[in-house]
Structure 1
Amino acid sequence: MAKKESFIKGTLILAAAALVARVLGLVQRVPLDHLFNDVGRASFSVSNNVYLMLLTIATAGIPSTLSKMVSERYALKRPGEAQRVYHAALLFAAFMGVIMTVLLYFAAPVYANYIKVPESALAIRALAPALLLFPTIAMMRGYFQGRHNMSAGGISQIVEQFARVGTAILLAYILLHMGYNDSWIAAGASFGGVLGSIGAFAVMMYYTVKIREQDRKLVLEAGADAKLPLMGIYKDIFTLSIPIVLSSLAVPAVNFIDSSIVNTLLTGQIGQAKATQLLGILGNRAQSIAGIPPILAIALSTSLIPVISAAFARKDEAHLKQQIMLALRIAILTGMPIVIALCAAAYSVNGLLFASLDGSWIIMLLTFGTIFQITMMTTNSILLGLGKARLSMVNVMIGIVVKLIVSYILAQWIGIYGIIAATGVCFLFITLLNLRMLKVIVPFSILDKRWMSFFSTVILTGAVGYGLNEAGIQLVHVMPARLAFLITSLVVGGAVVVVYLVLLVMLGVLRQQELTSYPRILQKILRPLMRLQPSRFNSSKTEGN
């Protein structure tokens, strides 16, 4: 039997793959922004948000459910049943791949015209063939996770992203220099998703060939298993996976909604050309920058989810309360300085990375709202860890309805900023619903009486960051603009992190006696700073635990 990887090693492999995928997805936006005009940015943003939403549907929930079903059957020495579950999943994936590809291809022009970005139809159609393989790839990844082989899924994800991003940039560059218009250039960039799916599928097939003989031997050794009915298999898969899929759709669904409503709501106010420009900025610039703050915060907080699940399973309420509080506290405290830095330096970051300075306020406002995205994703993960996927699903669905309603109301008053504000309201609303559910399960407090100290830290740090940014951008008068923006971004980022940490300690948001409960990497950063903490915080009883 193949050597099983440890749980920790497997988790690290999947986390690293997810991190690489997220970073590459952000990196590709920068060169593409320089290759596109307004129409190209809007078209690629629309197709990319369609891609990310459909990818979430194909890869969230079902692979983990399949992994659980396969792992259980191999543990019970029923490899024949595991193979039948896997083959049933592959059959469904192949069928859904064809259906989704055909529907997307023929629906693309209808959808593009409906959202008043008709130029995006080509880019959406260029993406359609990727859906032939993605459902199958997702099932294969789930199967290999069930066999305790995390490398297969992790490596396939990394190869997929490198192939997708590399192809997108290369094809866009070639088509631009061949004289094609921006609709075709955006389509070339979108076609990277197809090459990414082929790369991922090739990796999964390599691992499938490697394990095939071993699977055959295990089935022969175990003898004949009872035949499982197909409909029973599908019922088990969907009962477990659908709530997880719908819970995972919050962010991609919100981005998809924005792609769908910006031109529809704003064309009457500012004209189609301006609305298309704003859609391109929102999708290609703001959404990519806003994707940065959740990376570290979610990675740190979700590392505690297995501990939370274990505490809940053994009914250890005290430990469960502590771990939920810790997960939320880490998510907020580690996500906030990145949000502050990017908001304070939005103008400089925009000038450094992208083709123009248009949309700096859009970037700042959307990035500010990601603190609520962080709390939403963390509380969703905790609910999933507690086996409350249905509650999480319901809350996400309610939040998406709130997003639509608030967008339509605020867009009439403040245009694009109303649509962006509605995104923050949506994430905050889901967070509050999730917290309400969690506190029914176990009462807890995140920061208790320290909220005022925390808000003071945020305001003071933001003021320092904004002041440094305003001073730094004056450097454009004495040196090349991009160099000035680079220096300013680095100075603001460094200063915000230092000031934020110092204020957290000095104002007592973080306490010496709590350090041992935090992940080791945070302990190493914070321990030297604790010398700055006034003695009254060290001697007082810890609050909020």
Structure 2
Amino acid sequence: MSKKETFIKGTIILAVAALVARVLGIAQRVPLEHMLNDVGQASFNFANTLYLMLLTVATAGIPSTLSKMISERHALNKPAEARRVYQAALLFAAAAGVIITVLLYFAAPYYATYVAELPEAAPAIQALAPALLLFPAIAMMRGYFQGRNNMTAGGLSQIVEQIARVVTAIGLAYILLRMGYDDKWVAAGASFGGVLGSIGAFAVMLYFAAKLRRTDREAHMPPADRSIPLRGIYKAIFTLSIPIVLSSMAVPAVNFIDNSIVKPLLTGPIGAEAATAALAVLGTRAQSVAGIPPILAIALSTSLIPIISAAYARKDQEHLEQQVTMAMRVAIMTGMPVVIALCTAAYSINGLLFSNLEGTGIIAFLTFGTILQITMMTTNSILLGIGKAKLSMVHVMIGVVVKLAASFLLAPLFGIYGIIGGTAICFLVITALNLRSIKAIVAFSMLGKRWVGFALTVLASGLVGYGLNQAGIQLVHVMPSRLAFLITCLIVGVAVVVVYLVLMVMFGVLRQSELASYPRPLQKLFRPLMRLQPARLRERG
């Protein structure tokens, strides 16, 4: 198998794993939303976002750095040195897991009570803390396997992790609920699913590690070179990974901030009970739905990042410009129809998945802002690809400060929508700073003079989706409501995507002359539609 085929296969495996993980994550939250009241939902969500942020601190950046170091050493025929690097990473993972688990467990009551003003969340945080014992090691193992060109191990472990987590969370929550425990303990039971998920993922990685060891023995691979000092390895790892860690913190940090400030900022204006209800909707419903649009867009655009890195290293300015342009276009064009469909069908999605129709506006508003999240993540990846990780890190830090300031300014005026608006402003600021830095290095154009056609496409698709949703929800008068909402969601989703694609071609946002440069899945999708494009646009570059 060629390097290109191996890379494409790896990208597909990781993208599918991310998609399955996201779907299973929603599958977990839907029944929990039906089982838990507002306090229970808020407790579970707060524990989950705090955990994800700490997990990012403990692992993000290091696996990708480790993958790079391992692949380089194997390419240079230095497998003994690669094994030593892997050993050093596992030692760090063990220490980081113990430290962060202990800190999270013992700090949980204080943080839940005095910072988030949600003392009921403390048991849920403490129940989830043991998962951090294993996840740093799992992350290092995934990085090592990626460095050895094995994406299957990491992808499969991610899927097993989510299955174990979902089954345990729902099962324990149901058992505790039937036994008469109150919601804070039911939420703690649901949180404990993360621990079983980590055990499942670790078991998968151990299986693949044993399999790889057998293969290495048969190939007479030398043992780790213990003469190489750990200090030098750690210096190399942290020099490369710390900027990536902080760049990767944007979304987890924003979600963590939101879950921490909703009650303190909204209790005064709307009361503690209403603030808790808003927090429950934001965490359980809105953040779950809003997590869908970035999956495909980021997977497709990220597949172009190694090409960008290679072009930058060769100082091939023309190719670099083409690939940066393509990465941005792919991210925006594939993300936008999903955003439109989910926003316009937010009412039906809410009615289909959850116990009532409260919070539809919160779901739609947060989901709409994810197009800025997509551009932020893509531009972060481009900066990493051209060796500017520190710039990306600084921009994320500026964005988080802006997020805090905007939330405190807007929350008294617009309530929960002000806090969500602060999130959108944060992503916008990071994107703008990233684009400015990228343009200083390479001239590129996302859509050029096609913005008008793109804007008309988005507007028309949105109007079609909204109109069909308003018509579809009338079906609740003639059939069971959930069936009506399901039918409406399907109609809106299909119609928005079809209208969007047709108009993108007819308005010349997508051009026949550029089709060959797009990823193959998009080529197959767009090629039949190109017959709809006017000849003058089809031939234009």
Asked whether the two chains share a fold, i.e. TM above 0.5, the reply is yes
Q: Does 131-140 or 282-291 show the bigger shift?
A: 131-140
Do 2:286 and 2:362's aligned partners in 1 also have CA atoms closer than 8 Å? Answer: yes
Q: Structure 1's 14 and 500: CA in aligned 2 closer, same or farther, altered over 3 A?
A: closer
C-alpha displacement at 1:150, in angstroms? 2.5
Q: Structure 1's 180 and 304: CA in aligned 2 closer, same or farther, altered over 3 A?
A: same
Offset from partner CA, 1:75-103 (integer Å, 9 cap, x none)? 43433333332222222211111111110
Distance 1:537 1:141 in 2: 46
Which residue is 2:159 aligned to? 158
Do 1:77 and 1:222's aligned partners in 2 also have CA atoms closer than 8 Å? Answer: no
Which residue is 1:395 aligned to? 395
Distance 2:469 2:223 in 1: 70
Query: What is the identity, as a one-letter code, of the residue corresponding to 1:524?
Result: K
Which residue is 1:317 aligned to? 317
Query: What is the identity, as a one-letter code, of the residue corresponding to 2:491?
Result: V
Query: What is the identity, as a one-letter code, of the residue corresponding to 1:212?
Result: R
Which residue is 1:179 aligned to? 180
C-alpha displacement at 1:533, in angstroms? 2.3
Which residue is 1:129 aligned to? 130
Q: Does 97-106 or 308-317 show the bigger shift?
A: 308-317
C-alpha displacement at 1:205, in angstroms? 1.9
Q: Structure 1's 318 and 105: CA in aligned 2 closer, same or farther, altered over 3 A?
A: same
C-alpha displacement at 1:214, in angstroms? 5.2
Which residue is 1:12 aligned to? 12
Q: Structure 1's 419 and 435: CA in aligned 2 closer, same or farther, altered over 3 A?
A: same
Distance 2:86 2:382 in 1: 28
C-alpha displacement at 1:215, in angstroms? 4.9
Q: Does 50-59 or 221-230 show the bigger shift?
A: 221-230
Query: What is the identity, as a one-letter code, of the residue corresponding to 1:465?
Result: G
Q: Does 343-352 or 510-519 show the bigger shift?
A: 510-519
Distance 1:324 1:82 in 2: 32
Q: Structure 1's 223 and 505: CA in aligned 2 closer, same or farther, altered over 3 A?
A: closer
Distance 2:156 2:514 in 1: 37
Q: Structure 1's 505 and 221: CA in aligned 2 closer, same or farther, altered over 3 A?
A: closer
Query: What is the identity, as a one-letter code, of the residue corresponding to 1:175?
Result: L
Q: Does 358-367 or 195-204 show the bigger shift?
A: 195-204
Q: How does 1:276-355 map to 2 (within 5 A)?
A: 276-355=276-355
Offset from partner CA, 1:403-432 (integer Å, 9 cap, x none)? 111000000110100000111111111111
Which residue is 1:230 aligned to? 230
Q: Structure 1's 221 and 503: CA in aligned 2 closer, same or farther, altered over 3 A?
A: closer
Do 1:58 and 1:138's aligned partners in 2 also have CA atoms closer than 8 Å? Answer: no
1:196 paired with 2:197, answer: yes
Offset from partner CA, 1:317-349 (integer Å, 9 cap, x none)? 111111111111111111111111111111111
Offset from partner CA, 1:137-192 (integer Å, 9 cap, x none)? 11222222233333222222221111111111111111111111110111011001
Q: Does 452-461 or 40-49 show the bigger shift?
A: 452-461
Do 2:82 and 2:224's aligned partners in 1 also have CA atoms closer than 8 Å? Answer: no
Distance 1:17 1:47 in 2: 23
C-alpha displacement at 1:8, in angstroms? 3.2
Distance 1:386 1:503 in 2: 34
Offset from partner CA, 1:331-385 (integer Å, 9 cap, x none)? 1111111111111111111001111100000000000000001111111111111
Distance 2:443 2:383 in 1: 14
Query: What is the identity, as a one-letter code, of the residue corresponding to 2:265?
Result: L
Do 1:403 and 1:423's aligned partners in 2 also have CA atoms closer than 8 Å? Answer: yes
Report the secondary structure of 2:510's partner residue: coil
Which residue is 1:480 aligned to? 480
Which residue is 1:63 aligned to? 63
Q: Structure 1's 79 and 422: CA in aligned 2 closer, same or farther, altered over 3 A?
A: same
Query: What is the identity, as a one-letter code, of the residue corresponding to 1:484?
Result: A
Do 1:78 and 1:222's aligned partners in 2 also have CA atoms closer than 8 Å? Answer: no
Which residue is 1:92 aligned to? 92
Distance 1:517 1:188 in 2: 49
Query: What is the identity, as a one-letter code, of the residue corresponding to 1:137?
Result: I
Q: Structure 1's 73 and 520: CA in aligned 2 closer, same or farther, altered over 3 A?
A: closer
Offset from partner CA, 1:112-161 (integer Å, 9 cap, x none)? 11211111111000001111111111122222223333322222222111
Report the secondary structure of 1:116's partner residue: coil
Offset from partner CA, 1:287-333 (integer Å, 9 cap, x none)? 00001111111111111112211211211111111111111111111
Distance 1:221 1:412 in 2: 63
Q: Structure 1's 303 and 76: CA in aligned 2 closer, same or farther, altered over 3 A?
A: closer
Distance 1:33 1:207 in 2: 36
Query: What is the identity, as a one-letter code, of the residue corresponding to 2:521?
Result: I
Q: Structure 1's 503 and 228: CA in aligned 2 closer, same or farther, altered over 3 A?
A: same
Query: What is the identity, as a one-letter code, of the residue corresponding to 1:118?
Result: P
Do 1:26 and 1:291's aligned partners in 2 also have CA atoms closer than 8 Å? Answer: no
Do 2:128 and 2:191's aligned partners in 1 also have CA atoms closer than 8 Å? Answer: yes
Which residue is 1:448 aligned to? 448
Report the secondary structure of 1:479's partner residue: coil
Do 1:62 and 1:237's aligned partners in 2 also have CA atoms closer than 8 Å? Answer: yes
Report the secondary structure of 1:201's partner residue: helix
Which residue is 2:169 aligned to? 168
Q: Structure 1's 223 and 286: CA in aligned 2 closer, same or farther, altered over 3 A?
A: closer
Report the secondary structure of 1:133's partner residue: helix
Do 2:406 and 2:422's aligned partners in 1 also have CA atoms closer than 8 Å? Answer: yes
Distance 1:405 1:274 in 2: 23
Q: Does 518-527 or 413-422 show the bigger shift?
A: 518-527
Distance 1:193 1:224 in 2: 33
Do 2:258 and 2:419's aligned partners in 1 also have CA atoms closer than 8 Å? Answer: yes
Query: What is the identity, as a one-letter code, of the residue corresponding to 1:392?
Result: S
C-alpha displacement at 1:222, in angstroms? 5.0
Report the secondary structure of 2:504's partner residue: helix
Which residue is 2:465 aligned to? 465
Do 2:116 and 2:263's aligned partners in 1 also have CA atoms closer than 8 Å? Answer: yes
Distance 2:77 2:535 in 1: 60
Report the secondary structure of 2:130's partner residue: helix
Do 1:78 and 1:225's aligned partners in 2 also have CA atoms closer than 8 Å? Answer: no
Report the secondary structure of 1:514's partner residue: helix
Report the secondary structure of 1:464's partner residue: helix
Q: Structure 1's 225 and 87: CA in aligned 2 closer, same or farther, altered over 3 A?
A: closer
Offset from partner CA, 1:40-76 (integer Å, 9 cap, x none)? 1101110111122223233321112122223333343
Q: Structure 1's 309 and 221: CA in aligned 2 closer, same or farther, altered over 3 A?
A: closer
Query: What is the identity, as a one-letter code, of the residue corresponding to 1:100?
Result: I
Where does structure 1 lack aligned partners over 5 or more consecutive residues? Answer: none
Query: What is the identity, as a one-letter code, of the residue corresponding to 1:116?
Result: E
Do 2:83 and 2:224's aligned partners in 1 also have CA atoms closer than 8 Å? Answer: no
Q: Structure 1's 67 and 505: CA in aligned 2 closer, same or farther, altered over 3 A?
A: closer
Offset from partner CA, 1:215-272 (integer Å, 9 cap, x none)? 5677x87589572222211111100111111111111111111000000100011111
Which residue is 2:266 aligned to? 266
Q: How does 1:38-53 map to 2 (within 5 A)?
A: 38-53=38-53
Q: Does 261-270 or 132-141 show the bigger shift?
A: 132-141
Query: What is the identity, as a one-letter code, of the residue corresponding to 1:326?
Result: M
Q: Structure 1's 347 and 209: CA in aligned 2 closer, same or farther, altered over 3 A?
A: same
Distance 1:360 1:223 in 2: 57
Which residue is 1:520 aligned to? 520
Query: What is the identity, as a one-letter code, of the residue corresponding to 1:270?
Result: I
Distance 2:56 2:476 in 1: 42
Do 2:326 and 2:518's aligned partners in 1 also have CA atoms closer than 8 Å? Answer: yes
Which residue is 1:509 aligned to? 509
Do 2:101 and 2:133's aligned partners in 1 also have CA atoms closer than 8 Å? Answer: yes
Report the secondary structure of 1:446's partner residue: coil
C-alpha displacement at 1:455, in angstroms? 1.0
Q: Structure 1's 90 and 360: CA in aligned 2 closer, same or farther, altered over 3 A?
A: same
Distance 1:262 1:91 in 2: 38
Q: Structure 1's 117 and 302: CA in aligned 2 closer, same or farther, altered over 3 A?
A: same
Do 2:83 and 2:225's aligned partners in 1 also have CA atoms closer than 8 Å? Answer: no
